[in-house]
Structure 1
Amino acid sequence: MKKITLILAVIVLLISVLPSSFATAKSKPKKMTVSATAYCEMGRTATGYNYKKHPKAKAIAVDPRVIPLGSKVYIPGYGYAIARDTGGRIKGKIIDVHFKTRKQAIKWGRKKIKIRVYRH
């Protein structure tokens, strides 16, 4: 009886550890080089996110075939952002980085950068 209880305890422990190790492997970022431009829209995104309610939100517009909506992305010089929007001219490895003001967006300009994408 003690052996069976011990075996069951070991099995439960192993099962509880497996999902966390899978999550670690799943959260490894995908690195890619993209063309990054900027925009300063203060309305709603394609996912319904409201910039007026969250003006300090860090978000990007993406081609969802390349970067899934909802993904967390690290952008050098900007920080972590969430892929919350799409755009008619955003095709392939192009992202639009959201800024609160037009002045900030113009200062960012357009640049090629290496980003890290963490799938949601």
Structure 2
Amino acid sequence: MKKILMTLAVAILIISGMSNSVEAQTKTKTIKVSATAYCEMGRTATGYNLKKHPKAKVIAVDPRVIPLGSKVKIPGYGTAIARDTGGYIKGKIIDVHFKTRHQALKWGRKHIKIKVYKKK
């Protein structure tokens, strides 16, 4: 019985240490950006098919500011993945993807603070 309890205690310590190390590897940074919107339904710069995934939350970014593949929390939109780039997306500008033109026009242009989650 003592061996079982000891093994269980060690397993719990190992598992709790793993969850802390995963949290420690994720860091965030807050950036002020100008956010516009678009409604293309083709493939993104990373090859992601928006036609197959019309409800996906995707943004276009300047990869020098926000790395492609980063998870980004955007007020009023939710959590998106940086999967696209654009000719006019330079510096601290993001382009938020919407399924319809109406939704994109309703978004307009906003100056907001976003939270970028990235792995160390």
Measured against the shorter chain, the TM-score band is 0.7 to 0.9
RMSD in angstroms over aligned alpha carbons? 2.1
Which of the two has greater strand per residue?
2
| CA displacement, residues 7-48 of structure 1 (integer Å, 9 cap, x when unaligned) | xxx999877665533321222321111000000000000000
Structure 1 CA distance for aligned equivalents of residues 15 and 37 of structure 2: 43
Structure 2 CA distance for aligned equivalents of residues 114 and 43 of structure 1: 28
Q: With structure 1 as the length reference, what TM-score do the two structures score?
A: 0.83
SS at 2:111 equivalent:
strand
Q: How do 1:1-120 residues align onto structure 2 when only pairs under 5 Å count?
A: 18-120=17-119
Structure 2 CA distance for aligned equivalents of residues 89 and 47 of structure 1: 17
Aligned residues with identical type, % of pairs: 74
Q: For this pair of structures, how many residues does the alignment match?
A: 115
Structure 2: where are the runs of 5+ without partners? 1-8
Structure 1: where are the runs of 5+ without partners? 1-9
SS at 1:106 equivalent:
helix
Q: With structure 2 as the length reference, what TM-score do the two structures score?
A: 0.83
